[in-house]
A and B are shown apart, each in its own frame.
Chain A
Amino acid sequence: MTSEEMANKLGAAFPSAIIETNRFREETTLRVQASALRDICLHARDNLGFNYLIDISAVDHFGKEPRYEVVYELYSLKDCVHLRLKTDVSEDDCRISTVSDIWPTADWHEREAYDMMGIRFTDHPDLRRILMWDGYPYHPLRKDFPLEGKPSELPGVAFTEPAPLAGGPFVTVPTDGTTQVREPRARHAGDLVPPETFLAEP
């Protein structure tokens, strides 16, 4: 069975929950409603043989609403089929239900997404930070978080200080734009006016 057939089967089972089906370079991506995500995942695992969750990642579409997007990479080891599920998470709510009881591997993936992006996975058994320490006040992979970091202090545990970026080359702009806009080093002179927030120092 191919991923396209799998996607069609899922579409037939959840006609209202699947917003969009996209096929690009032999890869199938389904955009699904967050409310139906768990049902779709359960169905995909139990009836379609997606017994392996490769990864969960989160995307920050800074400046747009819904701001966040959570991406689930599903794989069927039996049929060797890969399927991608995407779902939107709004900035105000910033919550989505966990799939860690469906695929246990999702536990740490969701902890990482929570740590880096601040997306809360409801009913997760142990939603702690996984890379940064408990008590670190920020979510560093958000687009509005400066690359050099922000100062923080947790006595006895850890502290952070902004790194001296000195204007580049490793600077990013908090934007949803292309790489040329986002990373000033890749910009050609005169192409685009740097946004106000271009400088590393906020």
Chain B
Amino acid sequence: MSTTLSPVAYDAKIEGNVIFTQVDAAINWMRSNSLWPMPMGLACCAIELMAASSSRFDISRFGAEVMRFSPRQADVMIVAGTVTYKMALAVKRIWDQMPEPKWCIAMGACASSGGMYRSYAVLQGIDHLIPVDVYISGCPPRPEALLDGLMRLQKKIMGEHALVDQKKELLESL
């Protein structure tokens, strides 16, 4: 974890349950621990995605159990499966409907690169249309791999400059 953006700082000289932090760190800490996924299940990877949210793997331990089937309420789109050209613009449209800040996980070989489908019908990686934050290898990846990808995304979010980057207009008006 980055030292400059440590989420909390406890000062023993000040009593009374007071914790110091930076706004960036606090926002990032809140965001990264309540990532609501938009489950873009397109093929067999979606089965592993479902397994990740079931009790054995329990994605809720990472605060990402609230699968939102409405893009308006989602933070992270998990593209799980083969993106055909027929589906591609629909995925893009759902992505566009998600509010900022948003992140994208390309789950599995197909979503990352087209996978084994070197074909006329398959988009060769969702990153042709959507900026991807985390790629997860595997065909399909096991739920542990998805959880690992989620933890990496959390780490990435913790390193972001939430206030400076995303609230520019607000900071300038101050």
The chain A residues found within 8 Å of chain B, CB to CB, are 131-133, 138, 140, 145-150, 156-165, 170
The chain B residues found within 8 Å of chain A, CB to CB, are 85-86, 88-89, 114, 117-122, 124, 128
Known contacts: A133-B86, A157-B89, A159-B85. The answer to whether A165 contacts B118 by CB under 8 A is: yes
B119 touches A158 (CB 8 A): no
A132 touches B124 (CB 8 A): no
Q: Is the interface of A mostly helix, strand, loop or mixed?
A: loop
A140 touches B120 (CB 8 A): yes
Q: Within 8 Å CB of B124, what residues of A? A: 161, 163-164
B88 touches A147 (CB 8 A): no
Q: Within 8 Å CB of B118, what residues of A? A: 147-148, 163-165, 170
Q: Nearest-CB distance from B118 to chain A (Å)?
A: 5
Question: In the complex the two chains form, what is the Cα distance from A157 to B85 in whole Å?
Answer: 9
Q: Within 8 Å CB of A161, what residues of B? A: 124, 128
A163 is contacted by which of B86, B88, B89, B114 (Cβ under 8 Å)? B114
Can you offer 27 A-B residue contacts whose CB atoms are under 8 A? A132-B86, A133-B86, A138-B120, A140-B120, A146-B120, A147-B118, A147-B119, A147-B120, A148-B120, A149-B119, A149-B120, A150-B120, A156-B89, A158-B85, A158-B86, A159-B85, A159-B89, A160-B120, A161-B128, A163-B114, A163-B117, A163-B118, A163-B120, A163-B122, A164-B118, A164-B124, A165-B118
Nearest 3 Cβ contacts at the A-B interface: A149-B120, A163-B118, A158-B85
Question: In the complex the two chains form, what is the Cα distance from A55 to B86 in whole Å?
Answer: 25
* Supplied contacts A163-B119, A163-B120, 19 more A-B pairs, CB within 8 Å: A131-B86, A132-B86, A133-B86, A138-B120, A140-B120, A147-B118, A149-B119, A149-B121, A156-B89, A157-B89, A158-B86, A159-B85, A160-B85, A160-B120, A160-B121, A162-B120, A163-B122, A163-B124, A164-B118
Q: Within 8 Å CB of B121, what residues of A? A: 131-132, 140, 149, 160
Question: In the complex the two chains form, what is the Cα distance from A100 to B89 in whole Å?
Answer: 33
Question: In the complex the two chains form, what is the Cα distance from A84 to B109 in whole Å?
Answer: 40
- Nearest-CB residue, chain A, relative to B113: A164
A145 touches B120 (CB 8 A): yes
Question: In the complex the two chains form, what is the Cα distance from A161 to B124 in whole Å?
Answer: 9
Question: In the complex the two chains form, what is the Cα distance from A183 to B118 in whole Å?
Answer: 15
- Nearest-CB residue, chain B, relative to A149: B120
Q: Within 8 Å CB of B88, what residues of A? A: 158-159
A158 is contacted by which of B89, B114, B128 (Cβ under 8 Å)? B89
Q: Nearest-CB distance from A99 to chain B (Å)?
A: 27
